[in-house]
Amino acid sequence: MGGATFPTHVKLSPPADKPIDTLILNGVECEPYLTSDHRLMLEEPKKILLGMQIILRILNAKVGAIGIENNKPDAIETFRRVISELNLPFKVFSLHVKYPQGAEKQLIKAVVDRTVPAGKLPMDVGAVVQNVGTAAAVYDAVAYKRPLVERVVTVTGNGINEPKNVLARIGTSYSDVFEYCGGLCEDVGKIIMGGPMMGLAQSSLDVPVIKGTSGLLLLNEKESRRRQETTCISCARCIDVCPMGLMPKMLGAFVKHNQFDDAQAYHVLDCIECGSCSYVCPAYINLVHLIRFGKSEVIKKRKKAS
Ligand code: SF4
Ligand code: SF4
């Protein structure tokens, strides 16, 4: 149920040679604008924590930790209270508000101070991260044999008349969701599934809510305007902000010149597509778009070679 929609059953079936000692529940909203996880934490803390207990048992893990950003004091307080009421052995970590704090590798570093090496997965450092929505869904599946039929969706931005969080059935069309939220504003310019940094622009309203639809962001025309790309001025801002320690400027240049081997040598596949480099670039270079394309070319090449 997290932004990347990585399959839960895979995370819950680690190979025998990768024992898991720590389960981290992700209560950090993955992107700005989105509040669906926050809402769920306030409304269903018990369900989430009991789901977490089930996951801990499946993984045979010893430690259960929950990471929540410190701009959600009500969620932190609620979780600490319910943990104490249910007498569960879990600990809540209050984290700095920082993007992309909700990315798996960053969350593991912040909560248990372990670094997931390049090209490796959280299970390589004995950790599994699950979204709070996943924990609630696991509880429903185990306690009630109920499949995933609905999810909380944040409908937000200056392009919608009544922004709110809605509990939407999987398969509900965007147009029905928007109608329920008072309809689109006249000057709506762009509809994004997800948040402003990693979300995907949509070209139709005839699209269904799916498991990964954590939010629908509607920007107005002014906010959606594209700036004209200019030349890189080598300011290094993109390098300073990259949470993975990459050199987005170089990666973008390699991809522009079809130098995919060089991009691979500069670890293009480690990019988590957080969008921070594009956001800070004063030359308005769409670095994350170039890098995404570069990643797909490198993967294609690898598949051909194997
Ligand atoms: S932020 Fe933009 S202008 Fe600055 S070095 Fe990176 S790509 Fe070049
Ligand atoms: S999108 Fe840019 S800033 Fe984010 S991980 Fe990839 S290269 Fe780094």
Residues at CB less than 6 angstroms from ligand 1: 232-238, 249, 280-283, 285
- CB burial string 283-297: b at 16+ within 10 A, e below: bebbbbebbebbbeb
| pLDDT, average across residues 49-56 | 98
Angle at the Cα of 123 from the Cα atoms of 64 and 44, rounded to 5 degrees:
35
CA of 200 from ligand 1 middle (Å) equals: 23
281 lines ligand 2 (CB under 6 A): no
Percent of the chain with pLDDT over 70: 100
pLDDT of amino acid 176: 98
Q: How far apart are CA 151 and CA 36, in angstroms?
A: 9
Flag whether pLDDT at 3 surpasses 80: no
| Dihedral (CA of 295, 296, 300, 301) sign | negative
59 lines ligand 2 (CB under 6 A): no
Three-class SS state of 43: helix
Residue to probe by mutation, ligand 1, list 228, 230, 231, 234, most atoms within 8 Å of CB: 234
Flag whether pLDDT at 117 surpasses 90: yes
On the 0-12 / 13-18 / 19+ scale of CB atoms within 10 A, 255 is buried
pLDDT of amino acid 163: 98
**What does the mean pLDDT of the chain come to?**
96
Per-residue pLDDT tens digits for 90-107 = 999 999 999 999 999 999
Residue 275 alpha carbon, nearest atom of ligand 2: 1
Flag whether pLDDT at 2 surpasses 90: no
CA of 264 from ligand 1 middle (Å) equals: 20
Q: Which of 107, 85, 155, 92 is nearest to 4 (CA)?
A: 107
| pLDDT, average across residues 250-278 | 97
pLDDT of amino acid 186: 96
248 lines ligand 2 (CB under 6 A): yes
Flag whether pLDDT at 119 surpasses 90: no
Q: Which ligand is nearest to the CA of 231?
A: 1
CA of 252 from ligand 1 middle (Å) equals: 10
Q: Which ligand is nearest to the CA of 233?
A: 1
Ligand 1 atom 3: the closest Cα is on which residue?
232
Per-residue pLDDT tens digits for 21-33 = 999 999 998 899 9
Flag whether pLDDT at 278 surpasses 80: yes
Rounded (10°) CA dihedral 125, 249, 203, 207:
0
pLDDT of amino acid 4: 78
- Residue 203: pLDDT band by 50, 70, 90 thresholds? very high
CA of 66 from ligand 2 middle (Å) equals: 25
| pLDDT, average across residues 104-132 | 95
CA of 247 from ligand 2 middle (Å) equals: 8
Q: Which ligand is nearest to the CA of 276?
A: 2
pLDDT of amino acid 52: 98
Flag whether pLDDT at 13 surpasses 80: yes
| pLDDT, average across residues 55-78 | 97
CA of 184 from ligand 2 middle (Å) equals: 32
Domains, the chain, ranges and CATH?
8-144 (3.40.50.11540), 150-224 (3.10.20.600), 237-305 (no CATH)
| pLDDT, average across residues 269-285 | 96
Q: Which ligand is nearest to the CA of 277?
A: 2
Residue 277 alpha carbon, nearest atom of ligand 1: 1
Q: Give me the amino acid identity at 237.
A: R
Q: How far apart are CA 155 and CA 36, in angstroms?
A: 9
Three-class SS state of 200: strand
Phi, psi (degrees; rounded to nearest 5) at 270: -80, -5
Per-residue pLDDT tens digits for 139-176 = 999 999 999 999 999 999 999 999 999 999 999 999 99
